[in-house]
Amino acid sequence: MKIPYNEELRPDTGLYNAKLGIWLFLASEVMLFGGLFSAYIMLRLSDPNWASYGQNYLSVPLATLNTVVLITSSVTMVMAWVSLKLKDINKYKFYMGATLLCSFGFLIIKYIEYSEKFAHTPPLLPSTNNFFAVYFTLTGLHALHVIGGIIVNGYFFGPGIKMWDNEPERFTNRIEVAGLYWHFVDLVWIFLFPALYLLN
C-alpha cells in the first residue's frame, strides 16, 4: 500500500507522514546504537584490564575538533531549513553547502585518525583487543551514518533542489526530515566522544 504524501499534519499523530516515518526510523537506530553501547558498557565493566588496552592511543584533540565540526554542521543544517521557511533559497544553498563541507571535514579527520592506528607498530586493529573492537565498530558505524547523511543532503543540494520550484512546502519538509536524521548522527557522536575518548 502506498502512503500518500501530505503537507498537513495528521490528526492522529500531529505529524506529516514523512516526519512520522523518520521518527520511526530513528527509533530503530536508537535500538541499534543502544545495543552497541550496552555491549560496550558490559565489556568495560567486566574487564579489569580495560584501561590498559590502548585508549591512550586515541587522539583527543582530533576527536574534539571533530565534535566542533559536527556540532557546527547541525547548526548550519537548522539554518538551511530556516532559510527555506523564510523563502530564501540562496541562503539555503549556502547553509546546506556549509553542512556538506563540515560533513566531509568530519570524515577527513576520521580518516587521519584511523590512518594513525593502522600505521602504528604493530597496527591497532579491531582484532587487537576488545577496546579497539568496540572503538572501530562504534566509530565505523557512525562514519557510515555520516556518509548516508552526505548522500541525502548532497541530493537535496544538487538535483533534488528542483522540487523547490514546484513544491516548496514539500521540499522544506524534506529538509526538516533530513535535518532530524542529521541531528541524530550528531547526538550519537556526542555520546561516543566522552565514552571512548575521555573516560579512563
Residue whose C-alpha is closest to residue 182's, from 162, 140, 154 = 154
3-state secondary structure of 181: helix
Taken in order 124, 126, 130, 134, the sign of the CA dihedral is: positive
**CB-count burial class (<10 Å; 0-12, 13-18, 19+) for 116:** middle
The reported pLDDT for the residue numbered 49 is 78
Please report how many Cα atoms fall inside a 13 Å half-sphere around the Cα of residue 177, on the Cβ side: 20
The reported pLDDT for the residue numbered 14 is 57
Q: Judge contact between 109 and 138, C-beta under 8 A.
A: no
Residue whose C-alpha is closest to residue 141's, from 110, 95, 96 = 110
The reported pLDDT for the residue numbered 128 is 85
The reported pLDDT for the residue numbered 47 is 83
The reported pLDDT for the residue numbered 19 is 84
Query: How many Å apart are CA 183 and CA 81, to the nearest integer?
Result: 13
The reported pLDDT for the residue numbered 13 is 57
Per-residue cell: 90: 540562496
Which residue ranges in the chain fall short of pLDDT 70?
A: 1-15, 51, 200
DSSP summary character for residue 2: P
